[in-house]
Structure 1
Amino acid sequence: MIDPDHGDPPGVELDESAGAAFGDGVRHAREAVWQRPVHTLHSSEYRRFTEVNFPYLVQFNEGNDPWLTTSIEWAVQEHLNACAIGTGVYRIGGWVRPHGERSGHALARQLALLMHFRGSDGSPGLARLQDRRVLHLLHQRAGIDWSSGLKGVERWCYLDHNLVLQTLQGAPGVPGFQALPAAAVHSGLLDRSMAVNLAVARWLRSAFPLPENALALVLDKVRIAGQRGVRHAQDQGAYAAEALIDPAFEHWPDLDRLIKTVARFHQRLSDGMDLHRPEWTGKPPDHWRRPEERPA
């Protein structure tokens, strides 16, 4: 699965002139580049989105298709780049194999419907399952019955934040073509996914692999950041990563003042943290307690 929201992978960029020549020929233009069948997840239901930026499937040949090795290398490199700079673009969403002899078009339709959801106000939305970071967050924390939701899908494999190959499996049989369960949508995980992804990437700059409960720890720190008045996802991600890398950060006496200052002047929390980091780096969390308040 490819997410071209920030462009196609290097070396297989869409030839826009070729696409224009076909009229409504985005799929044809991509097939010309990949030399493989391409199946878009886009349909008339998603008028707010353009097909050129919508996820699509590339149908590999059976056996040892060279594109499989190349796509794995891309996925690893994307992850390494993101860890190096603390953020990044993920174009490789994983590798999906259906049960039996289903068409690529039918599989694309099923996955497109699975991404669809209705918000609490009834408005339509799309869960970015083509982003393997979002997929892994929901896989680990949302309690979704993937066996039912992916009925007809033999396996959906992707690399997680520790570069471990994870696998979702659907039950055999005719797919039910269902949307993402409402419980997963209303759990708040989708709303927090950007902050979580940023925090994980920043954390990975100083630790690898992350602990098995990494996502639970990050989600807890993102929640605490919101309670302390940190509103933007980028700032919540920066807060969560700093708190996990250096626990003394959350106990720094001037932290609440810093949060209020950056909010008042519309600054980034990470910039303020960079300026004041020597205040807490290398100190124990109880550094600012009076001696009689410290545990014996």
Structure 2
Amino acid sequence: MTTSSTSSVATLAQLQATFDSATSIYVLVDPMQGEPIPLFVDAADGLTAVRAAREAAWGRQVTAVPLDPRVPLTETQQPYVVTLQGADDEWLADTLEIAQAERHASQADGLASDGAGVHRISWLQTSLFGEDVAAAVAQMLRVNTSAWTDARYMRLADRRVLSWLRYVVGDARVAAQFGRLRRWVYLDACGRLAQLTHADDGVEQLTLKAEEWKFFMRGERMHATAARWLGELALSGDQALCENSQQDREIYAQVAAALGRAERAAQRWPTRFVRARDQDAWAVLSLLHADIEHDTRVRAVLQARPEEEGEPDETMHTLSITLRALMLKGIHS
């Protein structure tokens, strides 16, 4: 893996320089939660109409990525690739802007958000033509694991899922699936360009071991916690984490440890931790303030009972803003 400038978000010049000028470039789009650009069509008009509207809106060849028919998505929610006209194509700049805006939106509210958002854009480079690119990507989107699961779809078109898979199984095993796909580029959690490359035409199917699959399924929690953490840092003007970390994997390692601390806190104050997002909030707080668990003011808040009898305790997700302010007050006083 390589990552662009660690001091700023990705620029168009950096993205253009990533690509080999002699090899085709594609945008991989994940429309599960909606199209990244306006389409002048109603989804109820049918797949043919949607495909035509996509071609018209992009002004480029658009090729659907065929998923396992058992995947519970409508065909209009399934990924597709857009064929670009080289690194100077205006859509390269526009899709970079879309990806940057989506990342910013997912982190904008810091602790107050759920850290979800949408992440629909990444870029591919290969000598393959559109139909073959779609077929190659489709193979990588199939779930292969020794664990029992009814999951059918590895949602790699969401850049966070690709990044997390690399952390779980390592770059070599992910890239071994690429075949003639030479480069997969996306924005990392800090907004920098990250890429995975492959030079061998051979294809090795990726099969996750049962324990790897179990860990992989924690990805949603990891992404939400990381987004809330990075967003809160950005709100306070603290860029040190993104300036000093070279890869998403460094962020994941810290988030995984923080979620472990949150699980222990939930055992100590169970009424404050009702949903997963409550543990996520505590994980973020522990990343922001390493000593929060031992702060006497925080302990007093967590141990306090509601004024009205029978009223439930305020959960950590909503209480986290109060605790963050309390910790900051101690820093600035």
TM-score, normalised via structure 2 length? 0.71
The equivalences for 1:1-296 within 5 A come to: 1-9=28-36, 12-17=37-42, 24-86=48-110, 87-98=115-126, 100=127, 102-118=128-144, 120-144=147-171, 145-173=173-201, 175=203, 178=205, 180-183=206-209, 186-204=212-230, 205-206=232-233, 207-210=238-241, 211-212=244-245, 213-229=250-266, 230=273, 232-252=275-295, 258=302, 265=312, 268-281=315-328, 283=330
Q: Deviations over 1:83-113 (max 9, x none)?
A: 2223353343310112x3x222222222222
Query: Within 1, Cα distance between the matches of 2:207 and 2:88?
Result: 35
- 8 A Cα contact 1:248 1:280, kept in partner: no
The one-letter code sitting in structure 1 at the alignment partner of 2:320 is: M
- 8 A Cα contact 1:248 1:281, kept in partner: no
Query: Within 2, Cα distance between the matches of 1:151 and 1:50?
Result: 28
Query: Within 1, Cα distance between the matches of 2:102 and 2:239?
Result: 16
Identify the residue that residue 6 of structure 2 maps to in structure 1: none
* SS of alignment partner, residue 220 of structure 1: helix
Structure 1 residue runs without a partner (length 5+): 285-296
Q: Deviations over 1:159-201 (max 9, x none)?
A: 111222111112332545x3x4313873544322222222222
Residues 251, 200 of structure 1: CA spacing in aligned structure 2 closer, same or farther, 3 A cutoff? Answer: same
Q: Deviations over 1:191-241 (max 9, x none)?
A: 222222222222223132524222201111112223443574422321221
Deviates more, 1:231-240 or 1:70-79: 231-240
The one-letter code sitting in structure 2 at the alignment partner of 1:193 is: G
The one-letter code sitting in structure 2 at the alignment partner of 1:250 is: E
* SS of alignment partner, residue 217 of structure 2: helix
- 8 A Cα contact 1:162 1:209, kept in partner: no
Deviates more, 1:227-236 or 1:128-137: 227-236
Residues 252, 53 of structure 1: CA spacing in aligned structure 2 closer, same or farther, 3 A cutoff? Answer: farther
* SS of alignment partner, residue 263 of structure 2: helix
RMSD between aligned residues = 3.2
How many pairs were matched up? 276
Deviates more, 1:52-61 or 1:188-197: 188-197
Query: Within 1, Cα distance between the matches of 2:216 and 2:274?
Result: 15
Query: Within 2, Cα distance between the matches of 1:215 and 1:130?
Result: 19
- 8 A Cα contact 2:30 2:80, kept in partner: yes
Q: Deviations over 1:25-58 (max 9, x none)?
A: 4322211211111122243524411111222211
Deviates more, 1:41-50 or 1:217-226: 41-50
Structure 2 residue runs without a partner (length 5+): 1-27, 267-272
How far did residue 137 of structure 1 move? 2.2
- 8 A Cα contact 1:36 1:59, kept in partner: yes
Query: Within 2, Cα distance between the matches of 1:190 and 1:275?
Result: 32
